[in-house]
Amino acid sequence: MIPRIALGDGYSISRLIKGGWHLAGDHGAVDARQARQDMASFVEAGITTFDCADIYRGVEELIGGFRREFPELARQVQIHTKFVPDLSDLPRVDRAYVERIIDRSLERLRTERLDLVQFHWWDFDVPGYVETALEIERLRLAGKIARVGVTNFDARHLRELLAAGVGVEAHQLQYSLVDRRPAGAMVDLCRTHSIALLCYGTVCGGFLSERWLDAPPPTGSVENRSLIKYRLVIEDFGGWELFQQLLRTLQEIAARHGVDIATVATRTVLDRPQVAAAIVGATSTRHLPAHGRIGSLELDADELAALERITARAQGPRGDVYELERDRSGPHGRIMKYELNALPTDRVASQ
């Protein structure tokens, strides 16, 4: 029911990846036992690839707990994590720092080798990102890491890593009908170097759904960080009215196929060049039946043209991948949390 894809070396992943950010504490309370049971349900449904990060507080431990509790299912799972040094630590990142964080991820995830480590560097004005990527590559050659990826790199700095000999196999980035910044230079670069795109934000944190169709925009405080983040993206896209036009068109297409808006929005991203998978930040298993229809959904030329007529009117977001988010004085950068790697693990993870 869930399609799969092989990356460059034959490594097979599900084309829907279970995201882990929502389990890190910024999207409401987390029941650790239920979270582990949900992971089992996702694997049984065919979503066998999980995404996490060293800075998603407690999530690596949760997945490690799932592996201990469900050993048979765990053998079917691929785990993608990240290496994200704190902003204040960037000038001090060296070989020992990199190995300490990687060893911590190995321990938390209860494994001897990490399937994929995706590298992020907060500020390219701080030197050391190429050397750090080479240290991650060294740990790949040493057997602690199977594959090296990046997350939220722009084209210029990704080229630097490639020129230095870093064997980047995957790039996790934001890509959707509302944010098309990867199209063009980034897609061309990744195609040239056989780098798979692993895409988050394909449903804009839940905004691309029936819940927001013909609804007023959220005002005041919103319920989780995803809505805060993607509300800004919608503003850049062209505002709430243009977004509503997109939702109405998606709903018409979804009704024609007997699926929901989120499934159509995700399918459009999966069909783009170099896209290997979409990351779904599911907070429960209630959308698993809808996820199961992603493989059989095929959009025709007229449907894609109808969506293009709306997205062609978009005003943004503009610039390269993650360019707006790197401006710490701007609205996108101000909502980021830059110092999460050294924080103590949330108690929920060990419950």
Do 50 and 17 touch, CB atoms closer than 8 A?
yes
Mean per-residue pLDDT, 114-143: 98
For the segment 327-341, what is each residue's pLDDT rounded down to a tens digit? 999 999 999 999 999
Mean per-residue pLDDT, 244-272: 98
The pLDDT assigned to 349 comes to: 35
The pLDDT assigned to 67 comes to: 97
For the segment 228-242, what is each residue's pLDDT rounded down to a tens digit? 899 999 999 999 999
Give the count of beta carbons closer than 10 Å to the beta carbon of residue 62.
Answer: 28
What is this structure's pTM? 0.94
Listing DSSP states for 9-37 in one string gives: TS-EEESEEE--GGGSSSSS---HHHHHH
Listing DSSP states for 118-166 in one string gives: EE--S-TTSS-HHHHHHHHHHHHHTTSBS-EEEES--HHHHHHHHHTT-
Residue 138 has pLDDT above 70, yes or no: yes
Do 49 and 276 touch, CB atoms closer than 8 A?
no
Residue 350 has pLDDT above 50, yes or no: no
Structure tokens at 62: 């949760």
Of 5-14, 72-81, 115-124, 136-145, give the lowest mean pLDDT range: 5-14
For the segment 186-227, what is each residue's pLDDT rounded down to a tens digit? 999 999 999 999 999 999 999 999 999 999 998 866 566 788
Burial profile 139-158: b = 16 or more Cβ within 10 angstroms, e = fewer = bbeeebbebbbbbbbbbebb
Do 161 and 187 touch, CB atoms closer than 8 A?
no
Mean per-residue pLDDT, 287-297: 93
**Interatomic CA distance for residues 317 and 146, integer angstroms:** 34
Structure tokens at 54: 């060293």
Residue 351 has pLDDT above 80, yes or no: no
**Interatomic CA distance for residues 43 and 67, integer angstroms:** 12
For the segment 74-113, what is each residue's pLDDT rounded down to a tens digit? 999 999 999 999 999 999 999 999 999 999 999 999 999 9
Give the count of beta carbons closer than 10 Å to the beta carbon of residue 219.
Answer: 6
203 vs 283: which has the higher pLDDT: 203
Of 59-68, 162-171, 263-272, 285-294, give the lowest mean pLDDT range: 285-294
Q: Where are the beta strands (DSSP E) in the chain?
A: 4-6, 12-14, 16-18, 49-51, 78-83, 116-119, 148-151, 168-174, 196-200, 275-280
Mean per-residue pLDDT, 340-344: 71
Residue carrying structure tokens 């850049």 = 236
Question: Mapping DSSP to helix (H, G, I), strand (E, B) and coil, where does residue 342 land?
Answer: coil
Q: Which CATH architecture has domain 4-350?
A: Alpha-Beta Barrel (3.20)
Q: Break the chain into its structural domains and give their ranges.
A: 4-350
User: pLDDT band at 348, cuts 50/70/90?
Assistant: very low
Could you tell me the end-to-end alpha-carbon distance of the chain, in angstroms, rounded to an integer? Answer: 33
